[in-house]
Structure 1
Amino acid sequence: MVCHPELVHRMLRDSRTFDKGGPQYDRLRILMGDGVVTCRHEAHRRQRRLLQPDFRPSQVADHTELMGEEAESVCRDWRPGQAIDVSAAMMTFTTGVISRVLFSDSLNAATTAEVRHSLAAIVRGLFVRTVVPVEALFRVPTPANRRYRHAVDRVHAIIDAAIAERRLGAPRDDLLGTLLEATRDDGSRKAITEQEVHDHLVSLLLTGSESPSMGLASAFSLLAEHPETEHRLHAELDAVLAGGRRPGPDDLPRLVYTRCVVTETLRHSPPGWLFTRVTTKETHFAGCRLPRGATVLYSPYLLHHDPASFPDPDRFLPERWLPGQASDEQHRALTPFAAGSRKCIGDVLSMAEMTVALATVAGRWRLRHLPGPVEQPRPGATLGPRSLVMTCETRAHTPVDTSPREASLAPRATAAPGTHESRRAGDNGVDDA
């Protein structure tokens, strides 16, 4: 178990020696195949280069409108006093976003809902299959095992159907279109296989829906427990998004405090909380001899709650991430998207969609905890509240001209944090991979 930020960075930057592997990734490969999330080191560079253009900041900015549409559709029919399953609502949002990024409008509403329910069943069954690596237990036809197997089969079938339908139709400017184009050998690069197209889509659909939904559910839970933070967030939203409009790409750099809330949520309650690597050769690391095939673990949750890096680590304090506040050491200790060449390819997309969703929902509603104990984030394949039910209240907007100091915590012209902060998290951005 690697427990120091510098050692974690050293390990993650040496992906040739510390490759993705161990029980966690062995199980994920059964589900996802050898897509960009789970593939071995030798295949990663080619896969990354293929997918990278679809996840660059300029491309992500083009998705801002669809993110706002999906966020607005989730909360459009809420009513004051209504009990809302926030975990399910955020899963609906993230599944809608990643489905449109991958497939445009190829998946209808019913199919997208089926994908969402299947992914929820997969995530429930995935963690136990990781920590109990006894395959025979999961071949027993129990109700839970049958649900998991059915959910996996349905996701694979839906993706195969989307690929087949697209091949018969017109080309589209989405990630599926990029992948299908790459199956044609144009002489400039080796064509990818049909199986690689399938594996990439499964990987990105699962990881692009589950982790950001857990992060958003955690954010709304934490805001309800910290009214002063919520008030400052609302003041910024009222100043930047006057009249309660949806955020556009030009608004994202101005939502400074909103982004701080997202970043602090990922520090306080990182959805990806435990990961493994496997040594590909005997190596000496931090004074220890590690044989070939050793499983090495690291935990973003542990790093993010180390008081040596983050004073008062259990306190939810978005102000830590205001421009100029966090040290370089704190930025390096923040690893919600990993680091090095295997840093999450969707980090910029995830930060943008979480910021848009938070701004859209919080611009219209206050979410309040039900009476009684608050559900704590539960560790599974990801970390977060899995059945968070809250009540919604209509929010009165703060007049923008009443208190400029309260209305925004940073100058409206501030643009630097727009993509800079997320790309420093883990010390290197997607373009460095």
Structure 2
Amino acid sequence: MSGAVTEPARASTVGTAPGIFPSVSHAIALFRRPLDFLNSLPAHGDLVELRLGPRRAWVICEPQLVQRMLMDPHTFDKGGTQYDRLGALMGNGLVTCPQSEHRRQRTLLQPGFHPSRIPAYTALMAEEAQALCGEWRAGLWVDVTGAMMALTTRVTSRVLFSGSLDAERAALVRESLAAVVRGLFARTVVPVDAVFRVPTPANRRYRHALRRLHALVDAIIAERRNAPPRDDLLSTLLSTREGDGATQRPVTDREIHDQLITLLLTGVETTAMCLASAFGLLARNPETERALHRELDAVLPDGQAPGHEDLARLEYTRCVVTETLRVWPPGWLFTRVTTRDTELGGQRLPRGAMILYSPYLLHHDPASFPEPERFLPERWLPERRTAVPKGAMLPFAAGNRKCIGDRFAMAEAMVGVATVAAHWRLRPVTGHDDRLRPAATLGPRALVMICEPRQA
């Protein structure tokens, strides 16, 4: 985040994660209790070695080392088990492509995420959020996680396809993405392909969801090839030609397919998890919820939809979203791979070494965030956020591989929180399981809440 202070360099420590049988136990611990396992690692060093199956890996636990890695993407490239699996899902899109292809691909997609597009996107976000609120009734039990997935699916599909997803297709996307996200985490931490070739029900669901998702995107591209252009990202990609003069060529259907799959997965799931997490955290913190309501009542009288110009005035709303991204970051675990022999934190790393870093771990470091388990949006008020060490807050990564849709995602999350909270209080259901469920993303997977109308 902007305004972070730069900490003086210090000597790094290197350690090894404990375990009698590390070739087995580290992968099992990371799979069964990932957050607890990650939180245990800083006690062993700033850079901690572990094993995932037969493979050695290193987890970075210190913000300055993470920052150094992210700012050197030519040495620490996208790779490792996470991106091996994502590549099978997304193909060679912006998120999974190697650094050598990144600039070309980012240039291809950048027009769709230019800051000048955000006001129009904000309007359609507000329209969809208002429609969602209109479907609820007092006393209704709402699957908040599912509702936020439906909201972000509609928003993302309008940006990508101008609403080419009808209700049936949108439901297919939500169901397929949910199955894929559940399966991806296991495939990241258990790097043994044979396990996932066994025809278990979970493996069959994963493969079936992949096939449905890819078939849907292919069908939409084929439909739009011969249709009039629209004002959406798909039309931009279909009309783009690369190269100079006689060497120009259109972007292929395969390239378009890979980018659309990438944007669907990253655009729908992550923001939905952020929104569901925000409402879960607000319900646990009534004083924070009341402060949010006071701002909304002042800035958005009578529950009016937020426009782009309102986002700058919704300062506390932005703090709520930012603190949600700190406490429960949807993107919580990532891998990189070294492209050459190198050094990090005093440790020599061979070419091909797998590096893991966790925004969740960094965001819960008490040295960076006092009382890290507390939900305190006030941390991000202008007069206080400058105390955050550089590299400690990484909801969208950093460097030239920083998320291309960070402004879009922040706007969508702010609009979603502001619109829903302006109309409804969402109360937890006693006895219902609202725990975090780490998968490829982090968030409450089955958050059910009761709608109570707001009385301003």
Question: Would the TM-score normalized by the shorter structure come out above 0.5?
Answer: yes
Q: Indicate the residue corresponding to 1:167 in structure 2.
A: 225
Q: Indicate the residue corresponding to 2:349 in structure 1.
A: 290
- 1:149 maps to which of 207, 210, 213: 207
Query: 1:140 Cα deviation (Å)?
Result: 2.5
**Is residue 310–residue 330 contact of structure 1 (8 Å, CA) maintained in 2?**
no
Superposed CA deviations along residues 338-390 of structure 1, whole A, max 9, x for unmatched, are 00000011111100000000011000000011113752212111111000111
- 1:369 maps to which of 408, 428, 431: 428
Query: 1:283 Cα deviation (Å)?
Result: 0.4
Q: Which amino acid aligns with 2:131?
A: S
Change (3 A) 1:289 1:65: same
C-alpha RMSD of matched pairs (Å): 1.5
Q: Which amino acid aligns with 1:361?
A: V
Q: Indicate the residue corresponding to 1:359 in structure 2.
A: 418
Query: 1:103 Cα deviation (Å)?
Result: 0.6
Query: 1:184 Cα deviation (Å)?
Result: 6.4
Superposed CA deviations along residues 75-108 of structure 1, whole A, max 9, x for unmatched, are 2121111111111011111111111111112222
Q: Indicate the residue corresponding to 1:103 in structure 2.
A: 161
Query: 1:209 Cα deviation (Å)?
Result: 0.5
Query: 1:2 Cα deviation (Å)?
Result: 1.1
User: Is 1:265 equivalent to 2:319 in the alignment?
Assistant: no
Distance 2:266 2:234 in 1: 16
Distance 1:184 1:168 in 2: 20
Q: Which amino acid aligns with 1:102?
A: L
Q: Indicate the residue corresponding to 1:9 in structure 2.
A: 67
Distance 1:331 1:258 in 2: 23
User: Is 1:119 equivalent to 2:177 in the alignment?
Assistant: yes
Distance 2:155 2:228 in 1: 21
- 2:365 maps to which of 266, 291, 306: 306
**Is residue 240–residue 251 contact of structure 2 (8 Å, CA) maintained in 1?**
yes
Equivalent residues in 2 for 1:21-420, closer than 5 Å:
21-183=79-241, 187=245, 191-327=250-386, 329-330=388-389, 332-372=391-431, 375-397=434-456
Distance 2:362 2:336 in 1: 16
Query: 1:331 Cα deviation (Å)?
Result: 5.7
Distance 1:136 1:310 in 2: 41
Distance 1:378 1:105 in 2: 30
Distance 2:137 2:231 in 1: 37
Please, which runs of 5 or more residues in structure 1 have no aligned partner? Answer: 398-433
Q: Indicate the residue corresponding to 1:409 in structure 2.
A: none
Distance 2:252 2:179 in 1: 28
Q: Which range moves more in the overlay, 321-330 or 383-392? A: 321-330
Superposed CA deviations along residues 195-225 of structure 1, whole A, max 9, x for unmatched, are 1111000000011011111111110000001
**Is residue 176–residue 209 contact of structure 2 (8 Å, CA) maintained in 1?**
yes
Please, which runs of 5 or more residues in structure 2 have no aligned partner? Answer: 1-58
Alignment: residue pair count: 397
Distance 2:235 2:441 in 1: 29
Q: Which range moves more in the overlay, 257-266 or 158-167? A: 158-167
The SS at the match of 1:262 is helix
The SS at the match of 1:152 is helix
**Is residue 138–residue 453 contact of structure 2 (8 Å, CA) maintained in 1?**
yes
Superposed CA deviations along residues 169-207 of structure 1, whole A, max 9, x for unmatched, are 111121111111125666386643321111000000011
Change (3 A) 1:170 1:185: farther
Distance 1:112 1:378 in 2: 23
Superposed CA deviations along residues 411-431 of structure 1, whole A, max 9, x for unmatched, are xxxxxxxxxxxxxxxxxxxxx
Distance 1:223 1:339 in 2: 28
Question: Percent sequence identity over matched residues?
Answer: 63
Query: 1:46 Cα deviation (Å)?
Result: 0.4
Superposed CA deviations along residues 303-352 of structure 1, whole A, max 9, x for unmatched, are 11111111111110001111221126446311010000000111111000
Q: Indicate the residue corresponding to 1:415 in structure 2.
A: none
The SS at the match of 2:309 is coil
The SS at the match of 1:221 is helix
Q: Which range moves more in the overlay, 326-335 or 34-43? A: 326-335
Distance 1:102 1:331 in 2: 34
Distance 1:221 1:331 in 2: 28
